[in-house]
Amino acid sequence: MPRLTIAKLATALLDPVNLVIESSETVMLHGLSGSGKSMLLRAIADLDDHTGDALLDDTPCSAIAAPEWRRRVGYLTAETHWWAAFVGEHFHERNSELVSRLGLPEEVFDWEVGRLSTGEKQRLGIARLLDNRPEALLLDEPTANLDQDHTHMTEELLKDYQARHETPFLWVSHSPEQRSRIGNRHFRIEQRRLVEERA
Amino acid sequence: MTLITLSITDLLIAATLVVLVALLSWRLYLGSAKQLLIAATRSAIQLMLLGYVLHLLFESNSLPFIAMLSLFMLSVAGYEVMARQKQGFRGLWGYGIGAVSMFISSFSIMLLTLLVIIQPDPWYKPQYAIPLLGMLLGNTMTGIAVGLDNLTRNAWELRNQIEARLILGQRWSQAIADIRKDALRSGLIPIINAMAAAGVVSLPGMMTGQILAGSPPYEAAKYQLLIMYLITAGTGFGSLAAVWLGSRHLFDDRHRLRLERLKKK
């Protein structure tokens, strides 16, 4: 039963944040652009210098090697980047069921990265992240570039993953409909603080 | 065969050719004239000065004096490596990576060569030590500068890809692996090309010099081969050290990419 705890974690744009995301819980986050949402996710993923800590169950991020932490606490960036020429080179296994649930054919693994559309990249970015079998997920606008059908497919897949692995989610979304559809608790960033909202 | 000494007039004829190139390029608005003339003047002053210093050095044969000149050459080479970086590391690292890498490679290889291979008497005989170090440093410097420049430039340009790999849980060494490989190759290509072309396309500088000075060509070829291998080893160890140190310094202990350690463009 993984639980993600954020303990006094502060970034350049945020005062110390305390937040516990229980297993199977989805915490939605929004706020003006530039208010520090991505920076918070980056700090939880330990990509930037920060004070405070994050814990997965009782394991503090600072107590284990950063690569291991990042495999266990998966972070989906708003824009995905690809370092090899072909899609398949970014995956451990060619999971055709996973990509088909995102509306992509199995041959997608043989596709050239340079020919992917923005939406395809975003969906493959999610597949690539789930391929690591993360125990908690930080999602920065995972459906921002997707049409309605693909948005629903992606939400379904993520909720399904959550149901199976009891994954805590911290999900950034600009869409009020998506937030009320998906979220269990809701926060917005206002004046350097996380403010809880009534759903 | 005796050495034909060069007169000032001989040198002036050659210098006039350089001036002509500069004039032509200035007339045709092609640029580079100024740099060309500055570099030509600089080289004249530096080489004349070196000739004079070496003359003194050969007479004195003093180890401290030789050590001082060697250190001076090393520090200038370290500065040159830094100056050739478009976007090198900030602060002491900018100078240190190049200087340390050159020190490791050039100095140790020079010592090995003097003590084990050539064995002049005394071992620090400046007629051998200084030209040897000069050739090593000159080439190692280029390899290190090119390798480091390639490393930092690509790390900057491909920063998003490096971070994507880190985010997915790769270690820093995996995340930079391709870039590091490229950087090392770029540092080694000049010397690989030089070895491939030696004797077929180009007559290398040292061999040319020895032949002009009256050495039998076969002996000159052996010396040239020795020097080439030494230069390759020096460039290789130096570039390896520099690229490894540099790539390590791009990340911190938490496997984060720290591009703020590079100078601004």
DSSP notation for chain A: ---EEEEEEE-SSS--EEEEE-TT-EEEEE--TTSSHHHHHHHHTT-S--EEEEEETTEEGGGS-HHHHHHHEEEE-SS----SSBGGGG-SS--HHHHHTTT--GGGGGSBGGG--HHHHHHHHHHHHHTT--SEEEEESTTTT--HHHHHHHHHHHHHHHHHHT--EEEE-S-HHHHHHH-SEEEEEETTEEEEE--
Q: Which residues of A fall within a CB distance of 8 Å from B168?
A: 70-71, 128-129, 132
Please give the domain boundaries of chain A with CATH numbers for all domains: 4-197 (3.40.50.300)
Is the ipTM reported for this complex over the cut 0.90?
A: yes
Q: Which residue of B has its CA nearest to A66?
A: B254
Q: Average pLDDT, stretch A59-84?
A: 97
- Burial A85-111, CB ≥16 within 10 A → b, else e: eebeebbeeeeeebbebbbbeeebbeb
Cβ atoms B171, B146 nearer than 8 A: no
Report pLDDT for B95: 93
B159–chain A Cβ distance below 8 A for any pair: no
Q: Which of B95, B90, B92 is nearest to B79 (CA)?
A: B95
pLDDT average per 10 residues of sequence, chain B (265 residues): 81 94 91 89 92 89 91 92 89 92 92 94 91 91 94 96 98 97 95 87 83 90 91 95 96 96 84
Report pLDDT for B1: 52
Contact (CB<8Å) B163/A65: no
**Which of residues B265 and A90 earns the better pLDDT score?**
A90
Report pLDDT for B264: 76
- For residue B256, give the nearest of A48, A75, A79 by CB distance: A48
A contact test, residue of B154, B166, B167 with most A CBs within 10 A: B167
Contact (CB<8Å) A81/B164: yes
Residues A112-142 pLDDT 10s:
999 999 999 999 999 999 999 999 999 999 9
- The bridge status of strand A169-172 relative to strand A136-140 is parallel
Q: Which residue of A has its CA nearest to B174?
A: A67
Residues B56-79 pLDDT 10s:
988 888 999 999 999 999 999 999
Distance from CA of A167 to the nearest CA of B (A): 17
B177–chain A Cβ distance below 8 A for any pair: no
Residue A162 has pLDDT above 70, yes or no: yes
Give the gyration radius of chain A's Cα atoms: 16
Residues B108-158 pLDDT 10s:
999 999 999 999 989 999 999 998 999 899 999 999 999 999 999 999 999
Q: Average pLDDT, stretch A95-124?
A: 96
